């Protein structure tokens, strides 16, 4: 068994891990002398040792890396990360602790986000006025396994060069591990492609939402007036999306992912929202796309984000593809083809809409300036559009909030046209 620990690394150490050889760099001097209390075991047999924190036990998932420098609590509670182990490339994670306000999953219960977290530096005690507990305590309460003290740069290179890989993350305070059993478990995990994970995160019943965005010194507010009714189909929706809709005087009604078109339309919506979510959109599409196509026929304005964007692309006749490393971070430049504006956005997706598959009645509206992949579409024969990125995550900080304004403008225009 070999380790990846903090300290000076040779360049070929990272290269060996990136090549997926099943080997990792050797012991690094000067960081710690205690035995490993956490392991990351990759499906190719690579074993990485570190110091555990957060929940004890084992968790499985697809390893991805996120380049964001802040917002780790929102990331770890984003339902889109279900079935994934998040590696943060920024070395110092946990400095601001955790609180009860920054959870993004609709349900406040544990188990609706990432299954594991990997960081470089040891997690320190929090130093922030909003903190109510340390990251370690918060992870324990939510059942999220943590591992620190490894070369996250090398692990990110491995994912970048070889793609996201399944793994088991394990934490035991006594350092007792059955490594061979963990290797077998990691090797037997199913690929993310083909998995419908939405049933694990969608709401079980209708939710009426009126909370608005957080304001310094005031906290979250409540919508006073509702001029529009929006039905949000929940594939794993984030709270801040709902807040920004409510902020724009929308009565927001959240329905389960299994809601039929008849159930949606029975609420007489002025607009329909398709949310973000986890897993392979092509798998969820088996029951979601027929509903979306029926909703499109109703000509009610429709807006989708991330997973919802992919489902709209599928409903419009396109296809989705699994990406090698995905996009996970808060520093992604995306160009709005409609305006020519470049915005800095938050991304979190391992699948993408294949632009070459889009039919003539669909135009591309947004493009990633990192790799040229599709980041937005609009239908030319229906009042429907979607984006791949997360405008509500505010990394710009508000570069993409105009998309919510665009949605309500379309709603108002269609309402006026109907008299």
Q: Tell me, yes or no, if 392 is annotated catalytic.
A: yes
Q: Which residues, 6 or more positions from 158, have their beta carbon under 8 angstroms from its beta carbon?
A: 14, 17, 18, 19, 20, 165
Task: Match 């490393």 to its residue by tokens.
Answer: 325
Q: Tell me, yes or no, if 366 is annotated catalytic.
A: no
Q: Which of 306, 327, 328, 366 is catalytic?
A: 306
Q: Tell me, yes or no, if 375 is annotated catalytic.
A: no
DSSP letter string over 66-126? E--SS-HHHHHT-GGGTTEEEEESSS---TT-B-SS---BSS-SSSSS-SEEE-SSPPPPP
β-pairing verdict for 384-387 and 374-379: antiparallel
Tokens of 99: 């609180």
> What is d(CA 36, CA 407) in angstroms, rounded to the nearest whole number?
51
Please choose, from the candidates 293, 190, 280, 298, the residue with its C-alpha nearest in 3D space to the C-alpha of residue 235.
280
CA angle (265, 269, 273) in 5-degree steps: 95
Q: Which of 62, 332, 392, 401 is catalytic?
A: 392
Q: Which helix (H) or strand (E) holds 325?
A: strand 320-336
Burial group, residue 174, by CB count within 10 angstroms (0-12, 13-18, 19+):
exposed
Q: Which of 171, 389, 390, 401 is catalytic?
A: 390
Q: Which residues are catalytic?
A: 306, 390, 392
């Amino acid at each position: 068994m070999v380790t990846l620990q903090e300290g000076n690394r040779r360049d070929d150490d990272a290269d060996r891990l990136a090549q997926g050889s099943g080997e990792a760099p050797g012991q690094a001097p000067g960081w710690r002398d205690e035995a490993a209390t956490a392991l990351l075991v990759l499906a190719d047999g690579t074993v990485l040792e570190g110091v555990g924190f957060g929940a004890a036990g084992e968790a499985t998932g697809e390893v991805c890396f996120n380049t964001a420098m802040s917002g780790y609590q929102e990331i770890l509670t984003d339902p889109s990360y279900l079935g994934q182990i998040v590696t943060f490339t920024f070395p110092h994670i946990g400095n601001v602790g955790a609180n009860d306000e920054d959870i993004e999953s609709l349900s406040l219960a544990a188990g609706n986000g990432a299954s594991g977290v990997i960081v470089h530096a040891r997690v320190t005690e929090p130093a922030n006025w909003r903190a109510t507990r340390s990251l370690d305590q918060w992870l324990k309460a939510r059942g999220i396994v943590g591992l620190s003290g490894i070369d996250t740069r090398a692990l990110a290179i491995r994912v970048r060069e070889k793609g996201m890989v399944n793994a088991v993350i394990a934490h035991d305070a006594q350092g007792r591990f059955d490594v061979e059993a963990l290797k077998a478990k990691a090797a037997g995990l199913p690929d993310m492609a083909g998995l419908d994970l939405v049933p694990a995160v969608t709401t079980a019943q209708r939710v009426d939402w009126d909370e608005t965005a957080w304001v310094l010194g005031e906290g979250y507010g409540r919508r006073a007036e509702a001029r529009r009714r929006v039905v949000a189909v929940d594939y794993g929706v984030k709270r801040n999306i709902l807040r920004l809709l409510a902020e724009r005087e929308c009565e927001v009604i959240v329905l389960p992912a299994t809601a039929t078109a008849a159930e949606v339309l029975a609420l007489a919506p002025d607009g329909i929202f398709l949310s973000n979510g986890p897993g392979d959109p092509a798998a969820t599409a088996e029951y979601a796309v027929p509903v979306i196509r029926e909703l499109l026929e109703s000509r009610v304005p429709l807006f989708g984000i991330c997973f919802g964007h992919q489902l709209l692309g599928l409903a419009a006749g396109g296809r989705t593809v699994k990406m090698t490393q995905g996009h996970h971070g808060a520093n992604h430049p995306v160009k709005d083809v409609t305006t020519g504006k470049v915005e800095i956005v938050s991304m979190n997706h391992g699948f993408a809409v294949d632009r070459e598959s889009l039919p003539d009645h669909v135009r591309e509206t947004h493009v990633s300036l990192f790799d040229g992949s599709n980041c937005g579409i609009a239908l030319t024969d229906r009042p429907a559009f979607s984006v791949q990125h997360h405008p509500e995550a505010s990394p710009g900080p508000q570069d993409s909030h105009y998309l919510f304004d665009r949605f309500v403008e379309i709603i108002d225009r269609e309402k006026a046209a109907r008299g």
